[in-house]
Amino acid sequence: MDRAQLRTHLDHLDDAVPALRASSPDRCHFLRAFAGMAQIIEAKALTAQDAEFVGRRINEILF
């Protein structure tokens, strides 16, 4: 997946965080759900640079 597609998926993940937090009974449940979604995106990164980009963006979204 190219960088633009990764960015789109990451933007969708970012947009989903408020609803995901609201629907999660606790922080642990939220983190498991978030991690599962993030791992799917991370797996689509084709280069080391894209993987680093995805990792940085996921950290920005989470924190």
Query: 5-62 pLDDT, tens per residue?
Result: 999 999 999 999 999 999 999 999 999 999 999 999 999 999 999 999 999 999 999 9
Instruction: Quote the domain boundaries for residue 50.
Output: 3-62
How many structural domains comprise the chain? 1
How far is 33 from 13, CA to CA, in rounded Å? 11
Q: H helices then E strands: how many in the chain?
A: 3, 0
Place of tokens 């970012």: 14
State residue 41's pLDDT score. 98
26-42 tens-digit pLDDT: 999 999 999 999 999 99
Angle at the Cα of 57 from the Cα atoms of 17 and 49, rounded to 5 degrees? 150
pTM comes to 0.90
State residue 4's pLDDT score. 97
CB of 54 closer than 8 Å to CB of 10: yes
